[in-house]
Amino acid sequence: MHVLIVGGGVVGLACAHALCTRGVHVTVCEAGSLGSGSTGRAAGGIRTQFSTRVNVDLSLASIPVWESFSQAFGVDIDYRKTGYLFVARTEETADAFRDNVSMQNEAGAQSELLSPDEARTHLSGLRDEQFVAATYSPLDGIADPHSAVQGFAEAVRSVGGDIRTKTPVTGLTRAGEKWTVETPDETLTADFVVNAAGAWSRAIGELAGVELPIAPRRRQAAVVEPETRLPDDAPLTIDLDTGSYFRPEREGTALVGGHFSATDPDVNPDRFDQSMDIEWAVEATERADDCAAYFGPETRIRNGWAGLYAVTPDHHAIVDEVAPGFVVAAGFSGHGFQHAPATGHAVADLCLGEDTGSVDISELSVERFESGTTLTEQNVA
């Protein structure tokens, strides 16, 4: 069997690795360089605190891979379990927290519901008077997406996988049981095509005659020098009601971000502004200051960037064989890096017609958008 994967980000390479380790011949076609799309601009968060069981399960199935990555792949991904802290300003959000923690614990996560005062034990500068509840999980943390791409790519090559950079897929045609795949250099045939093209996945779907409800959306992050240093072991903190988040970076800096617009236009993934908007960075820093007493008026905005999320209408991925021999693993809405290992195994199952029982991905079928059985992810920051 030959599987051709479109996209050389962390999801595509995790799929390639899972397939190669099961004896499948794999070719990865990446239009640019490995990890040059959304992966290269990801914040690297890994968390179990989601509001839907499928996302929690994907995280729980992926975390063992991240924990053992340096030993298994020989690459240090700087994995740090500093935790995630979610804080709620309203009773409505607090009620959702209670339901979420119950579901997460049932799935096997270690999250807990906290009072604002208890939350200050994890983040001493929290402005606890602003909040009514919080949740925290010690399983959550961060890692380096760039190193993960390197590790997966080296592992794929070591078992005979063919990784081609600067090789865009320009045509897809189904004839009988095979796909014909056009690239500028060569025409290839494959039994399966896996669309792991992230923000470009809708365009790849169009080449295959498949309409995918996935839109590229611009997201930003800023690196700042806080007025008061954020502790190195501070959790990644998300003020869910305002959309603000922050976490410590290296050498006393902090990463701040958030999505503050109610509506978002689609962007052209080949032509979008990759620089940070200073007005947005000021607002993000002010919102972080409203959450915790580190980001006062002496905070200095150092630099930042913009990248792309591949977003579906319900903020959940599509992991599904959407047409014969055409598998989609895209639309993660900002969660692709952390869910890549489990997604790789799920995609291998789809291509091989197997069920290894790792995660039930049936809810991630594209058919949910036609049937109206879409999901609701509250923790979308």
Alpha-carbon distance of 274 to 220, in angstroms, equals 9
**What is the structure's pLDDT at 265?**
76
Q: Strand locations in the chain, DSSP E? A: 2-6, 25-29, 45-46, 84-88, 112-114, 133-137, 141-142, 162-164, 171-175, 178-182, 187-190, 192-195, 215-225, 236-239, 244-248, 254-258, 300-311, 318-323, 326-330
Quote the DSSP letter at residue 364: G
Alpha-carbon distance of 45 to 334, in angstroms, equals 9
Alpha-carbon distance of 42 to 35, in angstroms, equals 10
Structure tokens at 262: 């109610």
pLDDT, one tens digit for every residue, the chain (381 residues): 999 999 999 999 999 999 999 999 999 999 999 999 999 889 899 999 999 999 999 999 999 999 999 999 999 999 999 999 999 999 999 999 999 999 999 999 999 999 999 999 999 999 999 999 999 999 999 999 999 999 999 999 999 999 999 999 999 999 999 999 999 999 999 999 999 999 999 999 999 999 999 999 999 999 999 999 999 999 999 999 999 999 999 899 999 999 877 667 789 999 999 999 999 999 999 999 999 999 999 999 999 999 999 999 999 999 999 999 999 999 999 999 999 999 999 999 999 999 887 899 999 999 999 999 888 886 555
Distances (CA, A) of 184 to 41, 80, 210, 378: 27, 41, 22, 42
| Sequence-separated contacts (24+) of 205-212 with Cβ below 8 Å | 205/322, 205/328, 207/169, 207/170, 207/171, 207/172, 208/172, 208/174, 208/179, 208/323, 208/326, 209/174, 209/323, 210/322, 210/323, 210/326, 210/328, 212/318, 212/322, 212/328, 212/330, 212/331, 212/366
What dihedral angle (degrees, nearest 10) is formed by the CA atoms of 33, 36, 39, 43? 140
Alpha-carbon distance of 181 to 197, in angstroms, equals 15
Strand-pairing partners, residue 25, are 2
pTM: 0.95
Angle subtended at Cα 291 by Cα 285 and Cα 293, rounded to the nearest 5 degrees: 80
Which stretches within the chain are classed as H helix? 10-20, 53-67, 69-73, 91-107, 116-119, 145-158, 201-207, 278-291, 336-352, 368-371
Using DSSP bridges, classify how beta strands 162-164 and 25-29 pair: parallel, antiparallel or unpaired: parallel
Domains of the chain: 2-65+144-214+313-371 (3.50.50.60), 81-141+215-309 (3.30.9.10)
Computed over its alpha carbons, how large is the radius of gyration of the chain?
20
**What is the structure's pLDDT at 379?**
59
Alpha-carbon distance of 360 to 186, in angstroms, equals 37
